[in-house]
Structure formats: C-alpha cells, structure tokens
C-alpha cells in the first residue's frame, strides 16, 4: 500500500498545471478581499477569509485529487488492471484517502504564508496550529465525497459533478457569503453540509473559542456515510459487471 | 476449472452458455473465436472481474479472487488502460512491489521490449507500447497462470513476433498460458491446444492441426433439375447434402475431389458456387448452421465439449 501511495503521489505531483489551478482561485480571492477592513465573528476580515479560503481550497483539492481521476481510470481500464493485482480494496481506499489529504497541503501552506505576510494576520502559534490540524483532518469527508463522485459518474460528467458539488458546498456552507445572509430554507440545508461545520470549526479555532463537538460529530457522520456509499459502489462494480 | 459456466448480461445477452473446459498446468491454450464469441467474458470470469450467472470457476484450485489476492495469476485484459502521469519504469516498479517474488525490473523491460522507453510517460506511448507495458505488468508477479486477452491487437508485425517469443520463454519456465485471439494463424503458431468458441459455446477443442482441418470444409451450392440426394452423398469428400426444390448445398471436406465427381454424375449443374475456408466458415461447419441445413457435421474435432464435463484450469 505504501508503494501504491508513493506511486500515486509522484504522478499527481507531476501534474504541475493541475496543482496550480487548484490553488490559484482561493489565493486570488484572498488577494482581492483580505485588505478589507472590518470585524466579523470576532475575527478580522483577513483572518476570517484565511479560514474560508483554506476550507474552500481544502475541499476543492481533496475532491479533485480523487474524483475525476478515478472516473477517468475506471473508464480507461486502469482500475481493471489494479483489480487483478494483489492490492486489496481497503489498501486502495486508504491510499486514495491519504493521497487526497496530502493534496490539500500545498494550497493550505500558500494561504497561511499569504495571510501572515500580505494579510498581516496575527494568530498565536497555538491557534494557527489548531486551525491547520482542523483543516487537514476536516477535509477527510471531502476526500470520500471525491471518491463517491469518481465511482458514481463517468469520466465526462465527474468533472462537472465535482464543480457543482464544490460550489453548492461553498455557497450554502457560508464560505463565499455569510451563512446568516442566506434565505432561511437554504440556511437549513446549509447547516447540514460538511462545509458549514468545517468552516465553523475553523473560525472557532482562529478566534480561540471552544471548537464545538457537534461540528466534529457532523463531519465524522459525513465521512462514515460517504465512505459507506463509496464501498457499496465499489462492491457493486466489482461483482455486477 | 471452468464448469458449466453461464454468463447472462442484463438478463438478456447470453455471453457464455454452459461452457466447461479444463486446462492442465504448463499448457499454452488459445481461445479462438470471432468478436463477441464470449472469449473476453470467459477470461474476465477467470480473473474474477466478472461473476458467472451460474456455474463454477476455479483457477489453480482456488476461486479467482483468492488466486488474484495470492498474486498467482497475471492478466492482460482487453480494456486495461494505464494511469496518466506515471512513467513506464514507475508502473513496472509499482507492480513488482505488489507481488512477492517478482521478476526483476530489467527482465520485465526486456521481456516486454520496453528497455528503450522505460523513462517515457504513459500518455506519450503509442497503442502498441501501451500494450507492451500491460504485458510487463501481467508478468511482474511471475504468475503461475497468465491470461492474455487479444494481446497483440495493437502490435505491428515485428512487435508481434518478439511478443510471442517472450510468451514462449515464459511458457518454457512452466507458466500456464491462456490467450484469446480471433486469428487462427496466431492460435496455430503459439498454442498446443485450441478451444474454438462462438456464441458463448465451445465449438471445438483440439490440437491446431485438428482445428485447421475444419478450414478445409467447403460448401458447394448449385441448382439442378432433380437432385438425387443419395447419389450426391456418395460423392467423395461429402459430409452432408441439403436439397430444397432444385437448390442443392453440399458440405465437403475435400472439394477438389467432390467437384469432378459431381460433374461426372452427368446431371445438369447450374450456377455452381464454392464457398468456405477461413475461421468463420470453419465455425459454420462446426455449428452445423448456415444455409446448408442443420445436419450434424461429419467428424467433429476431438473432445468437443458438451456442457457437463468437469474442467479445471491450471
């Protein structure tokens, strides 16, 4: 499994253009808005936006690292080749999860550096450390979401499905616009989404407030639920076809 | 072992219809048949990529899944793509690490003819090169049993020759090889046994020379005023005669002998046509289908498999 993980990381890192595109959008948004003045949720705009963009970049990287690529490789037959090798299903899933978690690190690192320099964000090392851990661990449900999309959609539609999912998560989860300014129906839906819970955890960590175990529980529930769907689809594909 | 296996897709298309065969260890066997005959379905089933609708499949005495997990079988499946972004050498190194007791990197590159392109990225490879990489991956774990599904489809003549040379090297080391092809020549040159499949059934199972004998079958058609079926049946080489009205179809294993004798009968023979040769016609001869009627073709190949005999692969 380690060999497979290393192989997957090496070939993904080689796709530099893909990596830059993943990072470019949240970084650009940060550059545009971080200089605005104001306080919200007890945080300066530059700090608030660091969390929002880190969540957005993390969700995007985690999902794009696995989903469309997986759909493409199910289509072109690489997955069939892997299925007749001794690599185990849990080993494959674990490697894919670790791979997508690692994929979020470049974007997160760029955003943190940008926030500390360009944004003049002042965060105690403890708070910043907690924030980084939360973002990295908190993207796991989005990794499983990427796997689900990669297993449900074909190579053409996976990209679009991924994009739509990401935008819905970002808007209804309160990352692009303040959650409280959404219509009440959308607020209700938004409050169920993992993006909402991850952003809340991030802001709480940055502000030094209690994190809120309900948010952690919600993210865990999403991980388990999406993981079960992915496992079901995987089994379905290996037996029915 | 492939015992009484049936595979039905979507409850409608029957890809394998009560197929049974057994392959002894160390043999090199060809599955020969036209596209859509069920060859790939059979191979996918033995690799555990598909589950049979009914019947039992055992490879090396295990279920396909167990044999795959144990790393004892290798396969080149028909649609086996490669992942973008990887180099040839990295892919081969990965597969070597997935198996215990794998072949050396240098051996694999040499067997598959990849030494010169080891540093290429997968997306830069031609179709034939991709196919050779998949061959290397199939060999990586030094499998006891190797499945090759139309392995030379994208290869040019030169690559084909070195490919089969490598297969022979591997077979010489004791690996059992089962390959699918729709070229009789390829099956003839590289297998010690040919299993002919068509429409999900085994049509014949024998040595290459037994199978090739079927390609000499010709179908002779003509019109004559009053066909004398029993006289026609006595002509040399004739296996079967079907007459309807004034149209006659004769199935002959030796058309060169049949034709002069037919004219020697003296009756009026009009619009004579001789058809046949090639695998398709051999299959028609074997199945007893086609315009010549449903008569049982004379002299089936040795060991034609009816659906119920127990079989074992490896």
Distance from CA of A18 to the nearest CA of B (A): 11
Taking a C-beta distance cutoff of 8 angstroms, is the pair B270, B168 a contact? no
- Cβ distance B71 to A15 less than 8 Å, yes or no, reads no
Among partner residues B47, B83, B98, which is closest to A73 by beta-carbon distance? Answer: B83
Query: What is the rounded CA–CA span in Å between residue B7 and residue B45?
Result: 9
When scoring B46, B49, B94 by the number of chain A Cβ atoms within 10 A, the one with the most, hence best to mutate, is B94
Distance from CA of B15 to the nearest CA of A (A): 13
Q: Is the pLDDT of residue A183 over 50?
A: yes
What digits encode the pLDDT tens for the residues B199-210? 888 888 999 888
Q: Is the pLDDT of residue B307 over 60?
A: no
Nearest CA in chain A to B66: A86
Parts of chain B belonging to CATH 3.40.50.300: 2-212
Note whether ipTM > 0.90 here: no
Which residues of chain B does A80 touch, with a Cβ-Cβ cutoff of 8 Å?
Answer: 49, 77, 79-80
Q: Is the pLDDT of residue A70 over 70?
A: yes
Number of domains in chain A: 1
- Cβ distance B90 to A81 less than 8 Å, yes or no, reads no
From residue B202, how far is each of A233, B25, B43, B311 by CA, in Å? 34, 20, 14, 13
Lowest-pLDDT range, A185-199, B191-205, B208-222? Answer: B208-222
Among partner residues A81, A86, A88, which is closest to B80 by beta-carbon distance? Answer: A81
Joined together, the tokens standing for residue B226 give 């009053």
Lowest-pLDDT range, A15-29, A159-173, B98-112? Answer: A15-29
- Cβ distance B83 to A85 less than 8 Å, yes or no, reads no
* 3-class DSSP state of A184: helix
Q: Is the pLDDT of residue A137 over 50?
A: yes
Structural domain for A152, as ranges: 2-240
What digits encode the pLDDT tens for the residues B111-138? 999 999 999 999 999 999 999 999 999 9
Taking a C-beta distance cutoff of 8 angstroms, is the pair B297, B303 a contact? no
pLDDT band for position A21 (50/70/90)?
confident
The pLDDT value given to residue B314: 42
pTM for the full predicted model: 0.80
Please give the order of strands across the beta sheet that includes B270-276: B238-244, B247-252, B218-223, B270-276
Of the candidate CATH numbers 3.40.50, 2.40.30, 3.30.70, 3.30.2010, the domain formed by B218-276 belongs to: 3.30.70
Q: Is the pLDDT of residue A71 over 70?
A: yes
Q: Mean pLDDT over residues B3-13, rounded?
A: 63
- Which DSSP state fits B306? P
Joined together, the tokens standing for residue B161 give 């020759």
The pLDDT value given to residue B310: 33
Q: β-strand B247-252 against B218-223: which pairing, if any?
A: antiparallel
DSSP codes joined into one string, B92-112: HHHHHHHSTTPPPHHHHHHHT
Q: Which of B269, B153, B260 is nearest to B222 (CA)?
A: B269
The pLDDT value given to residue B81: 85
The pLDDT value given to residue A34: 87
The pLDDT value given to residue B5: 66
What digits encode the pLDDT tens for the residues B274-305? 876 556 666 665 655 433 333 333 333 333 33
Distance from CA of B158 to the nearest CA of A (A): 26
When scoring B48, B57, B62, B80 by the number of chain A Cβ atoms within 10 A, the one with the most, hence best to mutate, is B80
Q: What are phi and psi of B37, to 5 degrees?
A: -75, -20
Of the candidate CATH numbers 3.40.190.10, 3.40.50.300, 3.40.640.10, 3.10.129.10, the domain formed by B2-212 belongs to: 3.40.50.300
The pLDDT value given to residue B179: 96
Q: β-strand B54-57 against B2-9: which pairing, if any?
A: antiparallel
């Amino acid at each position: 499994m380690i060999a497979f993980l290393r192989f997957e990381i090496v070939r993904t890192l080689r796709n530099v253009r893909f990596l830059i595109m993943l990072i470019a959008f949240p970084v650009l948004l940060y550059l545009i808005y971080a200089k605005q003045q104001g306080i919200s949720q007890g945080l300066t705009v530059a700090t608030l936006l660091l969390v929002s963009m880190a969540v957005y970049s993390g969700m995007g990287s985690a999902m794009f690292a696995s989903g469309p690529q997986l759909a493409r490789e199910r289509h072109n037959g690489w997955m069939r080749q892997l299925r007749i090798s001794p690599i185990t299903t849990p080993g494959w899933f674990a490697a894919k999860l670790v791979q997508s978690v690692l994929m979020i690190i470049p974007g997160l690192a760029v955003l943190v550096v940008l926030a500390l320099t360009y944004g003049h964000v002042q965060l105690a090392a403890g708070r910043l450390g907690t924030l980084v851990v939360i973002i990295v661990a908190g993207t796991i449900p989005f990794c499983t979401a990427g796997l689900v999309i990669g297993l449900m959609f074909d190579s053409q539609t996976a990209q679009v499905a991924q994009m739509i999912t990401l935008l819905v998560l970002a808007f209804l989860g309160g990352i692009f616009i303040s959650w409280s300014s959404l219509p009440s129906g959308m607020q209700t839906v938004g409050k169920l989404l993992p993006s909402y819970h991850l952003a809340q955890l991030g802001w709480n960590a940055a502000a030094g407030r209690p994190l809120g175990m309900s948010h952690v529980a919600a993210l865990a529930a999403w991980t388990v639920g999406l993981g079960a769907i992915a496992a079901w689809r995987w089994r379905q594909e290996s037996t029915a076809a | 072992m492939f015992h009484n296996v049936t595979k039905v897709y979507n409850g409608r298309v029957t890809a394998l219809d009560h197929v049974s065969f057994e392959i002894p260890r160390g043999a090199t066997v060809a599955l020969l048949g036209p596209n859509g005959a069920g060859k790939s379905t059979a191979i996918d089933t033995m690799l555990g990529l598909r589950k049979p609708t009914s019947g039992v499949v055992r490879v090396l005495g295990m279920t396909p899944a167990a044999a795959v997990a144990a790393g004892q079988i290798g396969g080149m499946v028909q649609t086996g793509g490669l992942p973008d972004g990887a180099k040839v050498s990295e892919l081969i190194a990965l597969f070597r690490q997935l198996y215990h007791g794998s072949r050396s990197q240098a051996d694999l590159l040499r067997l598959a003819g990849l030494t010169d392109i080891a540093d290429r990225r997968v997306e830069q490879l031609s179709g034939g090169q991709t196919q050779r990489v998949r061959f290397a991956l199939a060999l990586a774990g030094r499998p006891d049993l190797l499945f090759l599904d139309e392995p030379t489809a994208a290869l040019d003549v030169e690559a084909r020759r070195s490919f089969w040379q490598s297969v022979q090297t591997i077979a010489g080391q004791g690996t059992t090889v089962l390959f699918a092809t729709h070229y009789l020549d390829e099956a003839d040159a590289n297998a010690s046994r040919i299993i002919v499949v068509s429409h999900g059934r085994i049509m014949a199972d024998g040595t290459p020379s037994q199978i090739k004998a079927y390609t000499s079958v010709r179908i002779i058609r003509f019109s004559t005023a009053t066909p004398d079926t029993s006289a026609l049946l006595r002509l040399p080489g004739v296996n079967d005669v079907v007459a309807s009205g004034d149209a006659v179809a004769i199935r002959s294993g030796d058309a060169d002998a049949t034709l002069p004798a037919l004219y020697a009968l003296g009756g009026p023979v009009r619009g004579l046509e001789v058809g046949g040769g090639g695998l398709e016609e051999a299959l028609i001869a074997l199945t007893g289908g086609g315009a010549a009627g449903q008569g049982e073709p004379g002299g089936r190949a040795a060991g034609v498999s009816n659906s119920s005999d127990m079989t074992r692969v490896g």
